[in-house]
Amino acid sequence: MSAAIVGWSHLPFGRLSDETVESLIVKAANGALADAGIDAADVDEIVLGHFNAGFSAQDFTASLVLQADPALRFKPATRVENACATGSAAVHQGVRAVHSGAARFVLVVGVEQMTTTPGPEIGQNLLKASYLAEEGDIPAGFAGVFGKIAGAYFQKYGDQSDALAAIAAKNHKNGVKNPFAQMRKDLGYDFCRTESEKNPFVAGPLKRTDCSLVSDGAAAIVLTNTETALGMKKAVAFRSTAHAQDFLPMSKRDILKFEGCATAWDRALKSAGVTLDDLSFVETHDCFTIAELIEYEAMGLAPEGQGAKAVLEGWTEVGGKLPVNVSGGLKAKGHPIGATGVSMHAITAMQLAGEAGDMQLPNAEIGGIFNMGGAAVANYVSVLQALK
């Protein structure tokens, strides 16, 4: 445990038309610094997670973090991108800077503004996270990619519509208690299970309730070394981090196995010296409900083809053997691409520090995070535990 989170800030996710990428960055950065109780002058390095891909006319955004405070001028600042795992890529880069001794305090910010982009362009921008040479013509954009995955899963293992609806209903129910969530409404299993005018099929067997939301938002965390963290008001340490990058074309792998996800989980758990049974909860990447279903199998919660059992038998509910997406996940919380991974780390830190409010789990000791870019291409896992 060489790095720890000592402060965080999480803005509400949603349709934030009065905000800009810059204003979101500034609010999140200043919030995290204030929460950590440090001055901007104390920051040694800045890492910004911002996918962009055409959502913002302003590119080259690393220096926008400096707008938060003049004392950040001349600090090293880098923008990173790894599709929908951009936020975790930023966090892991910050952890490495602390681990190496290159920085004592690192400010990590994740941001995205998506809703000001016209609908057709949103689909085009998101599809850039697929292998365009083979997957660029799939109908319904990125939803079509996961619709194809869902269709193949159904063909191999049978109709999983009950399980997908249960995942959507679980996450929307959890999202009601998350003050940062874009959609705080318990939709119920029946609504999520039934095709209707308000819940039409979008791609393959995926309905609207199977797809995460288009969102604006930002989150930020402050990282430091564990020795420094012990002297601060709160500290949540990284027991381990793991990153496994897989082939981009789906044609080069068994897309139903999410092998990069499985590899990252295996590495992170072994490095942390824990098993899945030791985790109090997991925040996982439910960009689509089929993704969460397959992730149950990839993390080792259920055997291949049997992920449905985990949700239908209540294992992943609050109060179950391994609560998954207590925050409401991307499904209810929203999915502003560059902010998602930072959000996952901030909310996990809140849980472990006992500061999660209505979302708080009793006796939360160790939390797991899985953040994914593309269709299981960029795979990041973090295992966190309260240090004090």
Residues 43, 24: Cα–Cα separation, whole Å? 19
CA–centroid distance for 130 within its chain: 18
- The active-site residue out of 10, 243, 335, 345 is 335
Residues 279, 323: Cα–Cα separation, whole Å? 9
Q: What stretch of H or E contains 367? A: strand 366-373
For residue 19, give both structure tokens.
């905000």
Q: What stretch of H or E contains 123? A: helix 119-127
DSSP 352-388: HHT--GGGPPTT--EEEEEEEETTTTEEEEEEEEE--
Residues 138, 121: Cα–Cα separation, whole Å? 15
What does the CA dihedral 321, 324, 327, 330 come to, rounded to 10 degrees? -170
> Tokens 């109780």 identify what position?
37
192 annotated active-site: no
> Tokens 């079509």 identify what position?
144
92 annotated active-site: no
For residue 98, give both structure tokens.
């602390």
- The active-site residue out of 10, 84, 261, 287 is 84
Choose among 343, 29, 361, 12: nearest CA to 179: 12
Residues 366, 127: Cα–Cα separation, whole Å? 34
Residues 45, 224: Cα–Cα separation, whole Å? 11
**Catalytic residues, which ones?**
84, 335
